[in-house]
Amino acid sequence: MNGYTLEDLMNTYGQDVWNFAFSICKNRQLADDIAQDVFLQAYRHVASFRGESSVKTWLLKITRNISYNNRKSAFVRKVMLVDFVHRAGQSQSAEDIFLEQEAANEVWLCVFRLPVKFREVIVLDAKYHLSVSEIAGVLNISEGTVKSRLHRARKKMTGLLYGEGQRK
């Protein structure tokens, strides 16, 4: 894989992997766990990387798969609920406050309100600047579906940002 070490991959793509995981699961601790799992999987399966996509696209696809596997787990849903209840009474760290201020950006709040299938394409397009074909590869859907979801996601975002924003 072009001479990348695991440390190189983590330093180069770690934040992108974590951000994408967080955009799917909306939980910082779970995003931390998913990011670690992604790099473990990448390390274990480096021989299966055929170079048909960029390293970043490959890692984001692994991130998506692991994120969805975690979302499906009833255990994870219970842990997230317990974590939410447990943390509600705790004071926030400076890091938590900073991350929440970042997430408070109105655009991202709207992105997080989108259904996952629209949220994914918006994040991969706007944040990671992946091409339609790369997004199709990450999500395992056709390019036509990507284009359709992007169009619908942008339309929903416009409604959320301008339609609801004017009523406040």
Cβ neighbour number for residue 18 with a 10 Å cutoff = 18
pLDDT of 166: 45
pLDDT of 164: 55
- Joined together, the tokens standing for residue 59 give 């890692």
Which residue would you say has higher pLDDT here, 28 or 47? Answer: 28
φ, ψ at 140 (rounded to 5°): 60, 45
pLDDT for residue 8 is more than 90 = no
For residue 151, name the pLDDT band (cuts at 50, 70, 90): very high
| All structural domains of the chain | 1-94 (1.10.1740.10), 105-168 (1.10.10.10)
Kindly report the length of the chain.
Answer: 168
* Residue entry with tokens 């299966």: 48
Share of the chain above pLDDT 90, in %: 39
pLDDT of 83: 47
